[in-house]
Structures are given as C-alpha cells and as structure tokens.
Amino acid sequence: MGQYNGDSHQRDEEEVYDLICVGFGPASLAIAIAIHEMLPESSTRPKILFLERQQQFVWHSGMLLPGSKMQISFMKDLATLRNPCSEFTFVNYLKVQDRLLGFINLGTFLPLREEYNDYMQWCASKFNDVVSYGETVKLVEPVVAQGSEKVNRFIVHSQVGGIEERRLAKHVVVAVGGRPLLPKPLPSYHPRIVHSSQYSSRVPQTLSDFNGAYRIAVVGAGQSAAEVFSDVSSKYPNSKTTLFIRGDALKPSDDSPFVNEIFNPSATDKFFQTSPQERQAQLVENRATNYSVVRLELIERIYHDLYVQRLRDPSGSSWRLNIQSHTEITGLNDATSDKQVSLRMSHRENGVHTIENHEFDLVIVATGYARDMHKELLAPTKVLLDDPTAERFPVGRDYKVQFGEGKVGAEAGIYLQGCNEMTHGLSDTLLSVLAVRAGEVVDSIFKPTANGHTNGHTNGHATTVQAKKVEPYSNGVRNGSGVSSNRYPH
C-alpha cells in the first residue's frame, strides 16, 4: 500500500471531488438526475463531475436505424420509476416538445429509438456544467490518507486533447458500457469487418455505391443482427445478404407480463440474495428475454420478405436474402484482403458437419458486448481486494466494490454500473432499472450526510473543466485503452 502514498501531502492540497463518474451515458445521466432531485439546491450540494470520451451525449448511435423502436416501455425512462413527478420524465419531455398528444394518439408504449435518443440528449443538456466531453479516462488509482493505512480518495487519470489530467475524488462511479465483442477467429480490426455498434457510420463508408451488387454477411441471432439484416438489404437492393446464425431459427423475445417482472427493480433484491448457483440457473432460464432473441414483429417482417422472394422465384437463383442456420465462423482464409473477407465456416446439417468457404465484400458482426472494460481501468485497486487474483470485482447490493476490511475508509468508494449481471440480474445492462438504481447509488454515497455523518462534500456544482499538464504518476502503470460511455443497453 505504501506505493500509493508517496505524495499524499501534495494531493491533500488539491481540489477534491465528492464524485467522479467515468462515462456519461444513460446510467450516469440517471445518476446526475437523481443527484439533482435528491440533493436539492437548498441543501449542501456535492462537487461532482462526469467524464465522457465522446464529444457529445450520444446513445446507441450506430444502431439508430430508421423506424427502429425501443424494446421497453417509455415509462421505464430515466426518472419515472423513482420520481413520477420529475421534470426529467419522458412524458414531460414530450410536453415540452409539444408532442404529448401526438404521441398519445400513436397508442404505443414503445417510442422510436431516434426519439428516445433525443429525449436523453435533452436531459443531458441540463448538465453541461458538470460534464467534460472529449475526455478519455485511462486509470483509477487509490490514495492512502496521510497518517493512515486506509484509502480515502482516488486519482482519476484521463487525457483530453493530448494533455494528461489528474483529479482527486472520494467516490468514483464506473459506467463505461460494453466492449464490442467479435467471434474469436476474427481480428479486432479489419476494414471489411464491422461490429453492429458502428453500423451506421462505417457501412456507408465501406460500401459507397448503394446500387452495387455487394456480397454481405450478417452474423448473429439477436435483435441487432435482425435489424441490421433487414436494414442493410433495403439500403443495398442489388446486394446479396446472408444472415448466419448458430441455432435453428430466429427466436422471439419473451416480453410477456409475468416474465417481464424479472426486470422490476424489486427483482434485483431477490436475485442478489440467492446463491451463485441459483443466480446462474436463473440467468440461463431467462436468456430468452434478452439474448439471441428478436421482437416478433421484426421476425414476421423478415419472414414475409423471404416468402415474397420465394413466391417470385421458386428456384432461388435471384434471391437477395438468405438465412443460413447451424453455421458459425471458424477462421479467416488466405484470400482475405483489404477488399474482401474470406470466411471459413462450420455448418451442421442432419448431424453432418461440413466446412464451407465464403467470400464477402462486408461482414457485419452483431454478437454483443463484453462488460469487462472496468477491469483494466481499476487494475491498481485490485490490491485492495481480499483476493487480488479474483476474476471479478465483488460488489454489494448498492453496487459498491467490496474491498478488503479496513483498506478503504467509509468516506470513499468505487461503484460499478452495467457490469453486474452475475450478481444483480439480467436488468443490470439494460435501461429498465436505471431510475431506481441511480437513486440507490446516490443514497449509498450521500445519504450518510442526512443522518448526521460527515462525508465532507463541498458546496456547489463543478465549473467548466480546464485541462492541465501533470507529471506522470509514480506507480508506472499505463493503460492505452480508453473508456466509452454506457450507451449500448436496450
């Protein structure tokens, strides 16, 4: 622990934030709203700051496809379930935009994804004074209190415009979202391989001729894969597009009322209190609510399109759309170049395995995200765990990392958002519980003050952030990977 307190006296003299949130996506935005409402201006306001790699608030930008709808009710917005009277509800947003009656006339609980993104941008605009955009967080480092063996704050190392920034915070919330996940045989980057998270930006750049007769592959069996398959085939009408899935067929998501109760905030309590074995069993049992499933109306639309082409050409020679089941990528062939991707694929049919080779002008991968970006970011804090070799950071019900007893002071802590599915359930990576969860986190960090305990937070919001040069930090740890916001949940 001594390696972290070499310049503790100097750091004690620096400005200290009560809370720094890494990432400013939906999870952090909900926290900003909760702080605004739960700690009113008339009381002592904490000094907070949100750091976001993107230049502005953008949610799910790669998948804001024309006509795509939300998969949850607008009532599960950033505030309603915690405070229905909030000014930040989706209903109030509609009222302010003079679209409330028009939306009511639509008769739907599912807004367009485009509109929901605009709603969140509207909310985010209210917090510009406490957000530093275009700033990439690199590392979070613990600091031991002077004259003590306990950590009482953390250094958040970041970079903006090529300049390193260092800030001290008592509490850090890490809400960095997911890392695009590609099948193992595929390289992390290839000009002709695109993850669905970058679909809207990279595909038009790669395939510039919308009348071109391209060969396009879409890999995946979930909602994103189905949306991309449907959209890319309409954008490139002369191309041949094939959807490759590992299972038998596209399967509908189960959002029936009783099953949907697993996304109720109260279900998080029940899930957290069960044993690890029971949790795992429940995750497997309820996968059909979120993973490798597609909304029924989209399945029916795709089936209709396939049926029409079969009607018009029974031979299949002119078919532009195909779905190939029981198939997965096993590797790249030597024929792969900057102009095409040659895939080696395993196909199962009637118990027989065959290896097939396919060439494509573009491969779009919609195989989800890994929720592990916090691990490198928090690497210097692992020494504070009871088991520094543990694969996961243990978290409590309040999402606070459970460091070893006596190693971190009661006035400091780190909280994880969007990477706790194994302990908090399937809703953890989704939008469903954001409003309530944000209130729980704010309670955990700041409620002790209301009970008479001192957490030492300062008055007022943070002002405009000025980047400054600092000396390289002393422990020699450097992390080249940046951090993005929690912008991928459904």
Question: Please, how many CA atoms are within 13 Å of residue 481, restricted to the half-sphere of its CB?
Answer: 12
Query: Is 277 contained in some domain?
Result: no
* 40: exposed, middle or buried (Cβ count in 10 Å: 0-12, 13-18, 19+): exposed
Task: Identify whether residues 130 and 64 lie together within a single domain.
Answer: yes
Contact between 189 and 365 under an 8 Å Cβ cutoff? The reply is: no
Query: 171 forms bridges with which residues in the sheet?
Result: 19, 413
One domain for residues 27 and 39: yes
Query: What pLDDT does 75 receive?
Result: 97
314, 346, 365 - which closes a domain: 365
Please check whether residues 15 and 81 belong to one and the same domain: yes
Q: To which H or E segment does residue 160 belong? A: strand 151-160
DSSP class of residue 237 equals T
CB atoms within 10 A of CB 99: 13
Q: Is residue 346 situated within a structural domain?
A: yes
Interatomic CA distance for residues 22 and 381, integer angstroms: 15
Work out how many domains the chain is built from and give that number.
Answer: 2
Positions of the chain with pLDDT under 50: 1-12, 449-490
Nearest-CA neighbor of 221 among 281, 298, 333, 111? Answer: 298
Q: Kindly report the pTM of this predicted structure.
A: 0.88
Boundaries of domain holding 311? 181-253+291-365
The CATH number covering residue 160 comes to 3.50.50.60
pLDDT of residue 387: 95
Task: Return all residues near 157 (Cβ < 8 A) that are at least 6 apart.
Answer: 137, 138, 139, 140, 141, 164, 165, 166, 473
d(CA 199, CA 196): 5
Confidence (pLDDT) at 286: 93
Instruction: Decide which of 330, 348, 365 is a domain's last residue.
Output: 365
Q: Please indicate, yes or no, whether residues 310 and 375 belong to a single structural domain of this protein.
A: no
Amino acid at 17: Y
In this prediction, residue 448 carries a pLDDT of 62
- 390 and 409 belong to one structural domain: yes
CA-based nearest residue to 38, from 416, 441, 430: 441
